[in-house]
Amino acid sequence: MDGFNVAQLLDDREERYKKQIEMITVHNLPIISFTINTPGSEKNNKIIKHIFESGLKEIESVLLNNSIEIMDRYYSTDGLSGPIIILSLSSNPIKLKELMIGIENKHSLGRLLDIDVIDEQLKHISRTDLGFETRKCLICNEYAKICSRSQRHDMTDVLNKFYDICFSYLANQNKKT
């Protein structure tokens, strides 16, 4: 990414956090905040946007199939930290998290999807809150946060695995059309 600036990236993430708080406060409802777990500094390109749109389509399908009404939405595809959608939902946050874990665990892009659920009291509902294991690393079977924080793997390997998943998904989608 030309001119990559960590301070600008952190500012972008802070703005997203403020938007999450605002939507929860205004509607007094839980939210889903969806982004892509994108390694490296490039968070916003055509492939990432396509993967994001595919993940969003799956989320909206699951919400519709479970009669969960979207009360409000914030959508941005041009931030430094990549595309995001925040959905204010008329539903129980535990049920929402269970449904989103289902997507993360079963969808072919699930490892790349970052679907957070935050309740009306601003509490993140975690996988472990519901008895699920934390997310695993794309490269090894260790917990993703441990590998990420310790920079255990070469970034080239992580990026290659990320894009392998993306390209495999896109190839399968092209076969279906």
Residue at 45 is within a domain:
yes
Within a domain: residue 60? Answer: yes
Residue 124 domain flag: yes
Determine, yes or no, domain membership for 141: no
Mean pLDDT (whole number) for 13-24: 93
Backbone angles phi, psi at 113, to 5 degrees: -85, 130
Burial of 112-133, coded b for 16+ CB within 10 Å and e otherwise, reads bbbbbbbbeeeeebebeeeeee
164 assigned to some structural domain:
no
pTM of the complete model: 0.91
Question: Which CATH number is 79's domain given?
Answer: 3.30.70.260
What pLDDT is recorded for position 99? 98
pLDDT band at 9 (very low <50, low <70, confident <90, very high): confident
The answer to whether position 49 is within a domain reads yes
Q: Mean pLDDT for the chain?
A: 93
Q: How many domains does the chain have?
A: 1
pLDDT digits (tens, 9 = 90+) for 80-100: 889 999 999 999 999 999 999
pLDDT at 1: 44
Residue 78 domain boundaries? 6-133
